[in-house]
Structure 1
Amino acid sequence: MATIVEIHVPLTPAADLEPGVYPFPWIERVEDFLIEIEEEGTAETYDEGEEFGGAYVFFLAGADEEALLSVASRVATFDGVPTGAFAMITDSQAPSMGMGRRIDLPTA
């Protein structure tokens, strides 16, 4: 059973975008960062990100809880990432997404 950290980021459109421009450019930036983290061996992406309950959720695994929360906190502080992000600490046996212990991001 693997520890999973879900990073829930509110699906808030980026400010001051031109009409017709994709409103969530921060999603791609976070995905690129998570690929870098995986290549470094710091953590692994557990699954593809997806929309859930008004948020976009990214999944991390492959490290201890402290390391995963550190990565999640870095995501929450990126320029353009909407405020209000939080993490859910769960595991690979959870019956569904969004279940577990909630941690506001960024952590201290």
Structure 2
Amino acid sequence: MSKYAPHHRTTNNPRATSSTICQKCLGTGHFTYQCKSSRPYVTRPSRTAQLENPRLLAKLKADGKPSVEVPEEFKNKSGIANRILEAKEKAREKDDGKPAKKRTKR
């Protein structure tokens, strides 16, 4: 050991209290870098579930209302694809009456 670099413990070594919460295992009494347990699985509602059920957002927001209004066409899950296909078929029928433009080669 060198006489110029003393190797002793410092007195300001932080100690975890009983209220210290580990970010990895969500346990108390130790820091994250001292954790030896595995991560628990925490279930959270998806964004779609939060938008459909405003009560799930009540924990995050005081008023409990979603920030975005969901259109009615997305609330009803059946028939969306059929409506899109019908709209495209109607657009094709309108375009069928017009003659197709041909390209000429140069």
Q: Which has the higher helix share?
A: 2
Q: What TM-score, normalized by structure 1, do the two folds share?
A: 0.19
Q: Normalized per residue, which structure has more strand?
A: 1
When Rg is computed on C-alpha atoms for both structures, the one with the higher figure is 2
Q: Give the TM-score, by structure 2 length.
A: 0.19
